[in-house]
Amino acid sequence: MARISQVAITGTSPAAASTVAGATQIGLGEARYLTIVATLVGATGGTLDVYLQTSFDGGTTWYDFAHFPQLAAGAASSVRVWHLSREQVQSTLTTIGSGTSPALAANTVVNYWGDQVRALYVAGASTSAGAAVNIKLAAFYA
C-alpha cells in the first residue's frame, strides 16, 4: 500500500548579506515522488536566493537539487510548486553546487534527492531584514 509523508522546512532567511543553511528534514530517500510547495517572500533591502539541497551520506555532504527564482528586495509573497518523480529520466548534465557554495541556476530543479533535505538561503548585498520561508515537502512511497 502506498503511503504519504509530509514535512516542512520553515524559518527566516538571513538578516544581512550571507549564506545560511536551514534545518534538516530526514526520511525522504525511499520516496518515489516528491512534491515541493514553497511560499517565499523577498527579504528587506537585498535579493534572496533559496535553494533546496540534499544529502546522500547522512548530512556530511550537501548538493543542490532545487533553486527557486531569485526574489527581489521586498518581493511580495509567491507560491512555487514542483513535482518530481524518480521514474523521470534526466538526460542532460546540470551544474550544481555543494555545501554553502550553491551553483544551480535559478528556477531549476534536478530530478534526484537523498534521505535528507535542507534549505540554503543566500541573502544579497544590502539585506537588512530576513524573510519568512515556508517549504512543504510531500513524499509519496509506493
- pLDDT per position as a tens digit, 54-69: 999 999 999 999 999 9
Q: What is the mean pLDDT of the chain?
A: 94
Q: Determine the pLDDT at residue 1.
A: 63
Residue 4's beta-bridge partner residues? Answer: 140
The pTM is what?
0.94
| Of the candidates 100, 122, 104, the residue with the CA atom closest to the CA atom of residue 43 | 122
Q: What is the mean pLDDT of residues 11-31?
A: 94
Contact 16, 127 (CB under 8 A): yes
d(CA 9, CA 79): 14
What span, in angstroms and rounded, lies between the C-alpha atoms of 19 and 14?
Answer: 7
pLDDT digits (tens, 9 = 90+) for 95-135: 999 999 999 999 999 988 999 999 999 999 999 999 999 99
Domains annotated on the chain, with CATH: 3-141 (2.60.120.380)
Q: How far is CA 95 from the centre of its chain?
A: 16
